[in-house]
A and B are shown apart, each in its own frame.
Chain A
Amino acid sequence: MTWSLRKSTEEGKGLGSVLEKEQLCPVLLSSLYIESYAACRTMKESKMKRTNRRGVRRRRTTVLPWALIIQILLRLPVKSLVRFKSVCRSWFSLISDPNFAISHFELAAASTERLLLLESIVPEARSIDFNAPLHDDSASATLNLNSLQPEFYWDQILGSCRGFVLLDCGQSLCLWNPSTGIHKQVCHSPIAWNMDVMFCTFLYGFGYDPSTDDYLVVQASYDVNSEAVTTRVEFFSVRANAWKEIEGIHLSYMNCCDDPRTGSLLNGAIHWLAYSNDASRNVIVVFDLTERSFSEILLPEDLACQFDFCELRVLGDFLCVHVMGYHECPLQIWVMKEYKIHSSWTRSVDVPVDEIPTKCFSLICATKNGDIVGRTDGDSGLVKCNNEGEFLEHRSYYDGRRGSQMIVYTESLLSLPYDSDQAEED
């Protein structure tokens, strides 16, 4: 049943009680919404007299019950909903309601993935609908950063999950929903910022644990001066608002410190490329967000490349590894067609870089119809190729400047959970 909406984990007040009902659209509304709907009155008949499409004079407009309006709004993309906050007060309250956001996200009928492009020097943020043609101006919008601190800047994008993007802002980390402007500062881990020991943080991840309705920021580090490379893993629970080290794991992974890897989310787990000291080779490290446990996925045997040029991505529902395309070498894509089944690694298309202006191309994501989207280095540009690897289009967003970063995020209206003893941030 598509409209059987999630039972609210919050107190079943307000909208929650409207959405929980088994009945399709209950006439019974909570007092809150009856009041707000009453404020949203119907226009006078005289105002509505105009000609409709069929040229017939319309006497009046069919007025939909509030519960049915909610059902329509649940099927709209985030961008439309953010705009329609301006329709009237009752729509504003509804669209701002956390329970509505959860129902909207879980109905997923209108979920849209967009690309966030951050230019760190300016600073400027742009949101790009990569499913639309890149040259379509309406597909790209400049985001408002006023809700963030005036001195806000970012060093790096570290992850993305359910509409939130994790940013490293130097003195702290920041969780930011680019669609709504909701954000939260997260202090750095006291362990990795211990001044006595030189820890190198080489893996960053950000994910959601549905069993506890909590977001986790995960990072792995090792002591660079220690002979035995022991991986330390710690996570920040947004709900608990605290860092915690995961004890009793005996892992030994490492990467170059100046090239920390950000995780790829798939099937409730974060995935990274890392070098395994025990196996003396590169592997995919998997962290299960609910079990809080680690496992490994081996890379395809025929994948031979320098680690620096390899990256992990999620294309559609598949884990994939790609080798960056550079001058004579085409972009190489390997797809794991069945999750955790090693024999299912398949070499997908090669994308030649001849037609790409900077002759350098790395994979970012795939569109709904299977086109490949990648970035070019040096010009903050995007390139789109079809699923045969044929060049379709290129667009540069910030000419001549460097230091921009990109990540795919799913649009959502979600806010962050917090325990009652923790004051909500502004």
Chain B
Amino acid sequence: MAERGESSEAVMLKKTEEEKLRKGKMIVGDESKAGYEEEGKKVKLVTSDGVTMEVEISIVKEMEIIQTFIGATDTDDSFIFPISNVSSHILNQIIELVKGEYDQELAKKLSHDELKEILVAANYLNMKTLFHFIATAIANVIQNKSVEFVRDFFGIVNDFTEEEEAELRKTNAWAFEGVDED
């Protein structure tokens, strides 16, 4: 991760109608012959909300789903990759986390929904380090929380009867000691 310099700012380009048309062909102009491995090189990703973002190659390299595409074609930089399951907001968060070398302090600033959406995105993009990092961050958020907090966090409906739940709490009473306030 050390090779990432400051030059790796992701440039956000509002998508024009023209680009939308080009996206259909998956190809845009400026067919540079520069090598794919080149330092500071960027790859264009189109997010679910229709934003084209230029993302530094070192970050894209962690996205195995895109690596598979690149590997299958010539080492050409002219492709635009649609990442239809990831919004520009979440992609920006991902870029920040990768550039921040997966600092747990950065994860603490994320909302619960952002954490969950980044996890879904990391799974979709097949970013293994990010996936482990975010899954661990979510585990850290919930580990000392109450059962009610966790139901709310994941949007789960309690399907136990009152008696069943009381019995479970009695059996496992030790695990209910020292739980944080919600």
Residues of A with Cβ closer than 8 Å to B? 1-3, 24-25, 39-43, 48, 52-54, 58, 60-65, 68-69, 71-77, 79-80, 82-89, 91-92, 109-110, 127, 137-139, 141-144, 146-147, 181
Contacts and interface: CB of A to CB of B under 8 A. Distances in A.
B175 interface: yes
A139 B144 CA distance: 12
B175 A79 contact: yes
Q: Is the interface of A mostly helix, strand, loop or mixed?
A: loop
Contact of B132 (A3, A39, A42, A68): A3
B171 A147 contact: yes
Given A83-B147, A141-B177, A141-B178, A110 B139 contact: yes
A88 B177 contact: no
Given A53-B112, A88-B160, A110-B143, 13 more contacts: A2-B128, A40-B159, A41-B156, A62-B117, A68-B123, A68-B135, A72-B135, A75-B135, A80-B142, A80-B143, A86-B169, A88-B159, A110-B139
A83 B179 contact: yes
A86 B147 contact: yes
A139 B178 contact: yes
B172 A144 contact: yes
A88 B175 contact: no
Contacts of B179: 83
Query: Chain B: interface residue count, which band?
Result: 35 or more
Q: Is the interface of B mostly helix, strand, loop or mixed?
A: helix
Contacts of A68: 119-120, 123, 135
A139 B177 CA distance: 9
B96 to A, nearest CB: 16
Contact of A141 (B139, B144, B160, B174): B174
Contacts of A138: 177-178
19 contacts: A1-B128, A2-B128, A2-B132, A42-B157, A43-B155, A43-B157, A64-B116, A64-B120, A72-B135, A72-B138, A75-B135, A75-B139, A80-B143, A86-B147, A86-B169, A87-B150, A89-B159, A92-B160, A144-B172
A53 B157 CA distance: 22
Nearest to A53: B111
A61 B147 CA distance: 17
Interface string B39-68: 000000000000000000000000000000
A135 B57 CA distance: 51
Nearest to A67: B123
B151 interface: yes
A84 B131 contact: no
Contacts of A41: 156-157
A302 to B, nearest CB: 44
